[in-house]
């Protein structure tokens, strides 16, 4: 039929079956749009076609517009125009949904008269995550199929819903656990006796059940967005749309979409979308034989060990956790089991899966329990001698091919590897706490690690659903090294004239989830104090050193847990403390520093400048592979605002 390549059209009696085959995710690229246009023209011309069944090959339905085209000039036919033709076609289209039905993909499905799905399908409008709102009618279609409240949640929140929830909400018409295409064909058979229903845009819009409650939801979206524009624009598109005609609402949506597409926030979010998917492209890893990691040993059942154990169990990996004695082992068991119970109570796993996870989890006070482990990760106290001893105990009991990993966040993984008889099996796997939630995994690469071990650990990290970033060996690797550098810069600013709460407020206004001093108070000041005391002997005499944090600890101010730290606490409420202010002022004067005031912009520019300088040092030393990896780390380790693209991307934008 002369169709563009990614589409095929075949006939089954009087049904036209269109299949989009555009790997990896059937994105609505130019060729797909052109193909759809050709099909709709062809099938409208043919009076023998009674219905068009729209399916996708591969693992998913259309997962959205082709994001790679967004940076380029738009090429006709545009998606909204193609969808309007499908929507208004005389021959009804039936969308057959599986996998990720997202963005332009869901808009395409909603432009069809009917939608059937299999149980695994996920449906959503995630455009806000790319700094956009839907641009092919989504904000106008969705509230005509589902409630106004759900439409707001889906468009402004960007999270997909399950096929079951979509059926319940009225977004799809039928659901099957079985084979999809035969189900869709019999669905069409049943339609034959009914008049064709009106198109989505011909339906009346669903107004909010309670306008005041709806307005409150919109206000919450705005508050939660901090500086990000797209969720606010998405909420406005939905709420303003109630008072517009379909044509006006489509026009409003399109204008907002095009404006946001050219906004730096969208460019930044697209940058990070691809950066997260491109973190590891090392030649040395290609074609390596991968170890099958089915059983993981964990040493230590504290917060980190339990989190790592849960992260493995949640992804179907068996775990053996070893602690120093039976009581500690039982405590580790409970900590891990509590995390799994939390996943069950939040509906993230079924009872069956929960029970299976518990069956695959054992604890012991004896290292011999690691005899069958494919990989053992130590998560014990952050001290070189302690970790080295644990490493040799592991090596004494594991199989010769087992991998041995340290979860250290600062220590020298090269030196740690050398404590083993076979250093090629040693690696750093730096999880972030809580390890079952945080997406980032720094894979720390010692000089002697084998390619096979490294490749197997990357595959393992991905198996756990982590974003893996390779890091070279240095104090703090990527994340903590940059954190230490900007923490030092903040301390200089304290002496130079800023106050902790001014720095925190500037960081919050910038979009960080927490200020650096709020974070320190939450984590406790004593651990870093102990580390500074250990490092004191190596500190250069001419290095600028700020000892305000040490003095706070000497005063017994260890943070939130002791009721006082950088702030003073009354229960959970936190207030600036005049005593801390007095200490800071007296330290400036003791050092002969004339204090100057800092605006929030000046504070952030010093913090960002420090992050970028350290980022360049890390790149030059080969600690990070790519500037993008540093952005990925800062966003996923510390909640650096995604819509900025990360500190290295920002530097490129400013040309600094």
Answer whether 594's CB lies under 8 Å from 609's CB: no
Q: Of the candidates 43, 100, 118, 295, which one interacts with ligand 3H9 according to CB under 6 A?
A: 100
Question: Smaller CB distance to ligand 3H9: residue 104 or 472?
Answer: 104
Site string for ligand 3H9, 69-88 (x = CB under 6 A): ----------x---------
Looking at 17, 51, 86, 102, which residue binds ligand 3H9 (CB under 6 A)? 102
Q: CB-wise, 130 or 411, nearer to ligand 3H9?
A: 130
Backbone angles phi, psi at 78, to 5 degrees: -80, 150
CB of 255 to ligand 3H9, least distance (A): 13
Residue 78 or residue 393: which is nearer to ligand 3H9 going by CB? 78
Q: Is 157 in the site for ligand 3H9 (CB under 6 A)?
A: no
Interface of this chain with ligand 3H9, residues 483 to 502, rule: CB under 6 A: none
Q: Which stretch binds ligand 3H9 (CB under 6 A): 130-138, 142-150, 410-418, 605-613?
A: 130-138
Whether 127 is catalytic: yes
Which DSSP helix (H) or strand (E) runs through 615? helix 600-620
d(CA 191, CA 188): 5
How far apart, in Å, are the Cα atoms of 578 and each of 25, 429, 575, 586?
57, 42, 9, 12
β-strand pairing of 318-322 with 361-364: parallel
Among 103, 231, 307, 515, binds ligand 3H9 (CB under 6 A): 103
Name the active-site residue from 87, 107, 495, 614. Answer: 107
Residue 266 binding ligand 3H9, by CB under 6 A: no
**Do 443 and 464 meet the contact criterion of CB atoms below 8 Å apart?**
no
Choose the stretch contacting ligand 3H9; rule: CB under 6 A; options: 64-72, 236-244, 363-371, 422-430: 64-72
| Cis-peptide, bond into residue 77, ω within 30° of zero | yes
Number of chain positions touching ligand 3H9 (CB under 6 A): 25
Core vs surface per residue 525-562: b (16+ CB within 10 A) or e: bbebbeeeeeeeeeeeeeeeebebbbebbeeebbbbeb
Among 68, 372, 422, 544, binds ligand 3H9 (CB under 6 A): 68
Burial of 564 (0-12, 13-18, 19+ CB in 10 A): buried
54, 97, 101, 127: residue in contact with ligand 3H9 (rule CB under 6 A): 127
Give the residue with the Cβ less far from ligand 3H9, 134 or 500: 134
Using CB under 6 A, pick the residue from 40, 130, 314, 494 that binds ligand 3H9: 130
Q: How far is the CB of 93 from ligand 3H9 (least distance, A)?
A: 18
Q: Report the 10 Å Cβ neighbour count for 612.
A: 21
Among 11, 164, 197, 277, binds ligand 3H9 (CB under 6 A): 277
Cβ nearer to ligand 3H9, comparing 70 with 384? 70
Q: Which of 126, 231, 301, 647 contacts ligand 3H9 by CB under 6 A? A: 126
Contacts with ligand 3H9 in 539-568 (CB under 6 A)? Answer: none
**Member of 64, 559, 565, 646 binding ligand 3H9 (CB under 6 A):** 64
Q: How far apart are CA 81 and CA 91, in angstroms?
A: 17
Beta carbon nearer to ligand 3H9, 67 or 458: 67
* Cα dist from 533 to 261, 358, 479, 489, whole Å: 50, 41, 22, 19
d(CA 318, CA 374): 10
Tell me the sheet residues that pair with 429: 443
Catalytic residue among 87, 127, 491, 651: 127
Q: Does 134 bind ligand 3H9 (CB under 6 A)?
A: yes
Give the Cα-Cα-Cα angle 521, 525, 527 (nearest 5 degrees). Answer: 135
- Non-local (6+) Cβ contacts of 423 within 8 A are 417, 446, 448, 449
Tell me if 290 sits within 8 A of 450, measured CB to CB: no
Long-range contacts of 621-627 (CB under 8 A, 24+ apart): 621/472, 621/474, 622/472, 623/471, 623/472, 623/473, 623/474, 623/477, 623/478, 623/481, 624/469, 624/470, 624/471, 624/472, 624/478, 625/279, 625/280, 625/282, 625/470, 626/275, 626/278, 626/279, 627/652
The yes or no reply on residue 461 touching ligand 3H9 (CB under 6 A) is no
Query: Cα(20)–Cα(82) distance, rounded to whole angstroms?
Result: 15
Q: Which region among 135-143, 334-342, 492-500, 513-521 touches ligand 3H9 (by CB under 6 A)?
A: 135-143
Query: Residues 9 to 28: which contact ligand 3H9 by CB under 6 A?
Result: 24-25, 27
Residue 86 CB, nearest distance to ligand 3H9 (Å)?
A: 14
Q: How far is the CB of 72 from ligand 3H9 (least distance, A)?
A: 12
Q: Which residues bind ligand 3H9 (CB under 6 A)?
A: 24-25, 27, 63-68, 79, 100, 102-104, 107, 126-127, 130, 132, 134-136, 138, 274, 277
Residues noted as catalytic: 107, 127
């Amino acid at each position: 039929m002369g169709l563009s390549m990614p589409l095929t059209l075949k006939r089954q009696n009087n049904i036209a079956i269109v299949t989009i085959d555009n790997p990896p995710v059937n994105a609505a690229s130019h060729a797909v749009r052109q193909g759809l246009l050709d099909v709709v023209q062809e099938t409208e011309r043919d009076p023998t076609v009674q219905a068009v069944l729209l399916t996708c090959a591969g693992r998913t339905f259309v997962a959205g517009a082709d994001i790679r085209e967004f940076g380029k000039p738009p090429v006709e036919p545009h998606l909204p125009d193609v969808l309007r033709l499908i929507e208004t076609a005389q021959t009804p289209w039936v969308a057959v949904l599986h996998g990720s039905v997202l963005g332009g993909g869901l808009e395409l499905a909603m432009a069809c008269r009917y939608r059937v799905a299999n149980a695994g399908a996920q449906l959503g409008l995630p455009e806000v995550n790319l700094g956009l709102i839907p641009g092919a009618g989504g904000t106008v279609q969705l509230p005509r199929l589902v409630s106004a409240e759900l439409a707001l949640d889906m468009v402004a929140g960007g999270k997909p819903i399950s096929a079951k929830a979509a059926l319940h909400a009225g977004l799809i018409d039928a659901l099957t656990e079985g084979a999809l295409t035969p189900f869709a064909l019999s669905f069409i058979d049943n339609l034959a006796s009914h008049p064709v229903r009106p198109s989505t845009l011909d339906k009346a819009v669903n107004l909010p059940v309670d306008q005041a409650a709806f307005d409150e939801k919109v206000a919450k979206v705005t508050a939660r967005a901090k500086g990000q524009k797209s969720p606010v624009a998405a909420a406005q598109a939905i709420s303003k749309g109630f008072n517009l005609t379909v044509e006006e609402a489509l026009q409003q949506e399109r204008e907002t979409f095009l404006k946001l597409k050219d906004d730096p926030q969208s460019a930044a979010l697209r940058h990070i979308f691809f950066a997260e998917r491109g973190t590891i492209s090392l030649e040395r890893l290609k074609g390596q034989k991968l170890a099958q990691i089915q059983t993981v040993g964990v040493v230590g059942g504290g917060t980190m060990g339990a989190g790592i154990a849960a992260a493995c169990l949640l992804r179907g990996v068996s775990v053996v956790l070893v602690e120093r004695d039976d009581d500690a082992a039982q405590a580790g068991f409970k900590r891990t089991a509590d995390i799994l119970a939390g996943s069950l109570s939040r509906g993230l796993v079924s009872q069956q899966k929960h029970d299976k996870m518990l069956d695959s989890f054992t604890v012991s006070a004896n290292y011999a329990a690691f005899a069958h482990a494919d990989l053992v990760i130590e998560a014990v106290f952050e001290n070189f001698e302690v970790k080295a001893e644990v490493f040799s105990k592991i090596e004494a009991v594991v199989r010769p091919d087992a991998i041995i990993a340290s979860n250290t966040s600062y220590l020298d993984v090269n030196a740690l590897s050398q404590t083993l008889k076979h250093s090629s099996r040693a690696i750093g796997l730096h999880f972030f706490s809580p390890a079952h939630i945080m997406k980032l995994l720094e894979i720390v690469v010692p000089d002697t690690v084998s390619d096979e071990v490294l490749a197997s650990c990357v595959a393992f990290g991905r198996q756990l659903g982590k974003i893996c970033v390779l890091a070279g060996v240095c104090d703090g690797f990527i994340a903590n090294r940059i954190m230490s550098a900007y923490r030092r810069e903040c301390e200089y600013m304290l002496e130079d004239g800023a106050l902790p709460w001014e720095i925190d407020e500037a960081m919050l206004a910038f979009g960080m989830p927490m200020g650096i001093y709020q974070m320190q108070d939450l984590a406790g000041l004593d651990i870093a104090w102990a580390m500074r005391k250990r490092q004191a002997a190596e500190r250069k005499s001419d290095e600028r050193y700020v000892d305000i944090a040490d003095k706070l600890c000497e005063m017994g101010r260890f943070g939130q847990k002791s009721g006082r730290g950088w702030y003073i606490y009354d229960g959970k409420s936190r207030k600036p403390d005049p005593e801390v202010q007095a200490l800071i002022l007296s330290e400036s004067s003791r050092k002969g520093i004339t204090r100057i005031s800092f605006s929030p912009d000046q504070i952030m520019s010093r913090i960002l400048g420090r992050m970028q300088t350290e980022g360049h040092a890390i790149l030059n030393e080969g600690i990070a592979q790519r500037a993008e990896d540093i952005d990925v780390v800062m966003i996923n380790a510390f909640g650096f605002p995604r819509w900025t693209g990360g500190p290295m991307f920002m530097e490129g934008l400013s040309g600094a």
